[in-house]
Amino acid sequence: MKGENYMHLEFPSRSTNEAFARSAVASFAAQLDPTLDELGDIKTAVSEAVTNCIVHAYPEELGPIILKARILPEHVLDITVKDRGCGIADVEQARKPMFTTGGEERSGMGITIMESFMTEFRIHSTVNKGTTVHMKRKILPRGGSK
C-alpha cells in the first residue's frame, strides 16, 4: 500500500541512537496529531524495537538498523525496524512474556510491549540474516471519530 508520506533512516546499533530513533518517529508521527498517550505508546514501541536490535541482533559488534515510517490512509502510522544481525532462532518462544536471551538485566517484555501498544504487529526473523519488526498504529482523529 502506497503511503501518503514516508521517512527512511539507517544508523549504527549504538545505544545512543535509540533516543534518536524514538524522537525521529515521534516527530514524524506528529503530523497525525496524536494524543500524548498515543505518542508515548509509539515512542515506547520504537524504543523497544531498536533496543532489541542493539542488545540482541548485534551483541558483539555494531551493525545497521533500518527504520522506516509511513503515513497510510485513514490515519495509520506504519513503522518498520529492521536489522541484519544474528536473527531469532525461535520467534514464538521470543514472543512469550519474560523470555530473554539478554541476561538478567533484561525483562523479556519488549515484544509484548510492542504488540500491546500497536494496532498491528508482525515479526519475521531468519537466523544469521536478521529480523524485521513491522508495526502499525491507528491514530484516532481528534474528537474520537474513527
Our answer to whether residue 106 is catalytic in this structure is yes
Of 17, 48, 70, 137, which residue is the catalytic one?
Answer: 48
Domains of the chain: which residue ranges?
5-138
pLDDT at residue 95 in the model: 61
pLDDT at residue 30 in the model: 96
Task: State which amino acid sits at residue 6.
Answer: Y
Q: What's the CATH number of domain 5-138, 3.30.390.30, 3.30.565.10, 3.50.50.60, 3.40.50.150?
A: 3.30.565.10
pLDDT at residue 115 in the model: 86
pLDDT at residue 96 in the model: 63
Q: What is the pTM of this model?
A: 0.84
Is 22 within 8 Å of 50 (Cβ atoms)?
yes
Is 70 exceeded by the pLDDT of residue 108?
Answer: no
Distances, alpha carbon 102 to alpha carbons 17, 30, 44, 117, in Å: 19, 33, 19, 22
pLDDT at residue 4 in the model: 81
Is 115 within 8 Å of 105 (Cβ atoms)?
no
Of 52, 70, 115, 137, which residue is the catalytic one?
Answer: 52
Our answer to whether residue 18 is catalytic in this structure is no
Average pLDDT value for the chain: 87
Our answer to whether residue 48 is catalytic in this structure is yes
**Helices (H), ranges, the chain:** 17-29, 36-52, 91-94, 110-117
Q: Residue 114: pLDDT band by 50, 70, 90 thresholds?
A: confident
Nearest to 18 by CA among 52, 50, 62, 41: 50
Is 90 exceeded by the pLDDT of residue 79?
Answer: yes
pLDDT at residue 109 in the model: 64
Average pLDDT on 51-64 reads 92
Is 60 exceeded by the pLDDT of residue 99?
Answer: no
